[in-house]
């Protein structure tokens, strides 16, 4: 028997008629809903009705609020420029080390960035496309990605990621991230990226116009804000071209259909996996990835065949420690328990360069 306190039946009937409904089976005792509850939580009405030994909960959302909005653990910060969201590491997102893989981290960075721009009203039919961009068939593509992980989250850990974007000269935009362990508040990673504009029809790069800049700059911090404020930090280092012959290789990599994204090319996270395919197995067994930097030079299509090449890199000199205000101490000093590699992804058919990268690896710690 459905129990309702106050004369609330008509109000709930209107909610049923005008709202989207989610039905979730629950097993709770029946309890009344008061008028005060409906006023206090206008976005949802919860009914409990007895049907034999089971109950049905009906959760309604008013117009303009989607189920995703209610379930997502994200919000804009008070300044309106940065966005934070919490994520639980799922079992299928961890690898052989029982921690999140670097691909998982990169996917979460992409997810929180997309949720940020969706939150401020940008389109969901492309990655952060503005009204003018959609009219002109323009999209954003990744030019560089730099990720540093100080501690990998494990299965069921909760990670909070903060992100913001800002202008990067006249050629594109920059997006930064800071990752924290929700349980301790510890900064466990940082990342930064550069994006350029491309015409979706011609697949050619295009300069950012003033009209497009005006559309997104209102959501960017007025003053530069960097995830890596340190002078000469590793995110700024150029990546030299890897020369033949490479020490290690994995040839004939082919994009899967699932590797293509809504911009109709191979998603930038797929390149990370391809780069790691040519890392020697002894490094995979004894080390974990500490830093990865990728320069994207050519987009990859579904029919392309890719070769992944890797060579060990020995730095010429040590650099003293650099301590940042946004996270853990970083150091470019190579110790005996660290390794560094140069990478290139290129087309098998003609050797045309797709991507070049650098990775740094540290010895696995005992867990």
Q: Are 4 and 32 contacting, i.e. CB atoms less than 8 angstroms apart? A: yes
- Residue 265 among the catalytic residues: yes
Cis upstream peptide for 245 (omega within 30°) = yes
Distance, in Å, from the CA atom of 314 to the CA atom of 340, rounded to the nearest integer, reads 7
Name the DSSP letter for residue 302: T
Give the active site residue among 115, 233, 287, 300: 300
What is the chain's percent helix, strand, coil content, to nearest 5? 20, 35, 45
Give the active site residue among 116, 146, 265, 343: 265
Main-chain dihedrals φ then ψ at residue 235, nearest 5 degrees: -70, -15
User: Is the C-alpha dihedral spanning 68, 70, 72, 75 positive or negative?
Assistant: positive
Q: Are 160 and 179 contacting, i.e. CB atoms less than 8 angstroms apart? A: yes
Give the active site residue among 107, 119, 263, 326: 263
Q: Are 122 and 62 contacting, i.e. CB atoms less than 8 angstroms apart? A: no
Interior CA angle at 20 toward 18 and 24, to 5°?
135
| Residues involved in catalysis | 263, 265, 300
């Amino acid at each position: 028997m459905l129990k309702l306190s106050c004369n609330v039946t008509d109000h709930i009937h209107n909610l049923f008629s005008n709202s989207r409904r989610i039905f979730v089976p629950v097993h709770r005792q029946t309890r009344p809903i008061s008028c005060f509850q409906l006023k206090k939580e206008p976005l949802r009405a919860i009914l409990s009705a007895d049907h034999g030994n089971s109950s049905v909960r009906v959760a309604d959302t008013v117009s303009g609020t989607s189920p995703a909005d209610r379930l997502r653990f994200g919000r804009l910060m008070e300044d309106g420029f940065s966005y934070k969201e919490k994520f639980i590491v799922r079992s299928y997102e961890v690898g052989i080390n029982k921690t999140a893989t670097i691909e998982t981290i990169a996917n979460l960075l992409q997810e929180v960035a997309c949720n940020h721009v969706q939150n401020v009203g940008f389109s969901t039919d492309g990655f952060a496309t503005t009204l003018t961009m959609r009219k002109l068939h323009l999209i954003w593509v990744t030019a560089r990605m730099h990720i540093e992980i100080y501690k990998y989250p494990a299965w069921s850990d909760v990670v909070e990621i903060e992100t913001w974007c800002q202008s990067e000269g006249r050629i594109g935009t920059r997006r930064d991230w800071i990752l924290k362990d929700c349980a301790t508040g510890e900064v466990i990673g940082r990342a930064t990226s550069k994006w350029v504009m491309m015409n979706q029809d011609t697949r050619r790069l295009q300069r950012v116009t003033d009209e497009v800049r005006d559309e997104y700059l209102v959501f960017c911090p007025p003053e530069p804000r960097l995830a890596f404020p340190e002078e000469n930090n590793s995110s700024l280092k150029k990546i030299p071209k890897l020369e033949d012959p490479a020490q290690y290789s994995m040839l004939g990599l082919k994009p899967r259909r699932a590797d293509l994204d809504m911009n109709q090319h191979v998603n930038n996270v797929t390149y990370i996996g391809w780069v790691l395919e040519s890392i020697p197995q002894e490094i995979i067994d004894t080390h974990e990835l500490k830093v990865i930097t990728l320069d994207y030079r050519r987009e990859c299509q579904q029919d392309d065949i890719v070769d992944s090449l890797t060579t060990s890199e020995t730095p010429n000199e040590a650099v003293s420690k650099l301590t940042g205000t946004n996270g853990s101490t970083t150091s470019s000093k190579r110790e005996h328990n660290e390794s560094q590699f140069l990478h290139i992804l290129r087309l098998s058919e003609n050797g045309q360069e797709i991507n070049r990268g650098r990775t740094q690896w540290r010895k696995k710690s005992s867990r």
